[in-house]
Structure 1
């Protein structure tokens, strides 16, 4: 497994992003190797913790059209993307 942590700021209020978030979630579910996303929000700071079956799937998503669309959105800025290997044996102990 491999994880991505993606964060950004938005000039659009979180409540106004719901419908776009639903459409994004539907597209994300079709990404090869995608396992899960935890959606993060704190005021104007947004992002997610993504889990993929392997590093190749995570990197393909990171470099693909969904992330490119987020980066190109005029209301979004200050992107940070970090990749993480997942310790599956310890994660199993905490129901990950």
Structure 2
């Protein structure tokens, strides 16, 4: 699995406007090949938003990062200070720390 974390500051956009845009875009993210989940992030106090994306594999993460959808996020004039970081998932240790939300499908020792 691979994770992508994208964060940015809102510029000239209210939280309510952002919520409407996010709701409109959600189906586009849901349809991404290999996307297991997207967690929408917000730091309301600092007008910072973003997303945590978990992909099934490196190719799926690469596909998203090279997509028109990702370019649209990166080029949005209302998103400043955008940072995107990519990580491989340590599935062995993750399997030890997921008591409520299953992220790794095969628990250790199964």
Segments of 4+ moved more than 6 angstroms: none
More strand by share: 1
How much has 1:13 moved relative to structure 2?
2.1
Q: Which structure 1 residue ranges, 5 or more long, are not aligned?
A: none
More off after superposition, 65-74 vs 25-34: 65-74
Greater relative contact order (CA < 8 Å, ≥ 6 in sequence): 1
Separation in structure 2 between the aligned mates of residue 41 and residue 18 of structure 1, nearest angstrom: 11
Separation in structure 1 between the aligned mates of residue 43 and residue 66 of structure 2, nearest angstrom: 25
Counterpart position of 1:38: 39
Counterpart position of 1:91: 94
Separation in structure 1 between the aligned mates of residue 59 and residue 80 of structure 2, nearest angstrom: 26
Equivalent residue runs for 1:1-96 within 5 Å: 1-11=1-11, 12-43=13-44, 44-95=47-98, 96=103
Separation in structure 1 between the aligned mates of residue 18 and residue 84 of structure 2, nearest angstrom: 20
Q: TM-score, normalised by structure 1?
A: 0.91
Q: What is the DSSP-based 3-state SS (H/G/I as helix, E as strand, rest coil) of the residue aligned with 1:93?
A: coil
Q: Which structure 2 residue ranges, 5 or more long, are not aligned?
A: 104-110
Point out the structure with max Rg over C-alpha: 2
How much has 1:15 moved relative to structure 2?
2.1
